[in-house]
Amino acid sequence: MARRSERFLYSGIRVRDLRRSLTFYRALGFRVRAKGRMGHGGQWVHLVFPGSRHALELNFYPKGNRFYEPFRNGTEFDHFGFYVSDVAAWYRRALRAGGKRVEDFVDGKNRLVYVNDPNGVCLEAFGPAKPRRRARTPRRS
Cα 87 from chain centre: 12
What CATH number does the domain located at 76-130 have?
Answer: 3.10.180.10
* CA nearest to 125, candidates 76, 92, 77: 92
In the chain, domain spans = 10-65, 76-130
**Contact at 8 Å (CB) between 99 and 120?**
no
User: Comparing 10-65 with 76-130, is the CATH topology the same?
Assistant: yes
pLDDT per residue of the chain (141 residues) written in tens, 0 to 9: 555 689 999 999 999 899 999 999 999 899 999 999 988 889 999 999 998 889 999 999 999 888 888 877 777 888 999 999 999 999 999 999 999 999 999 999 999 999 998 878 899 999 999 855 555 555 555
Q: Which CATH class is domain 10-65?
A: alpha beta
Q: What is the pLDDT of residue 70?
A: 83
pTM score, two decimals?
0.70
Distances (CA, A) of 71 to 14, 27, 45, 76, 81: 9, 24, 19, 7, 21
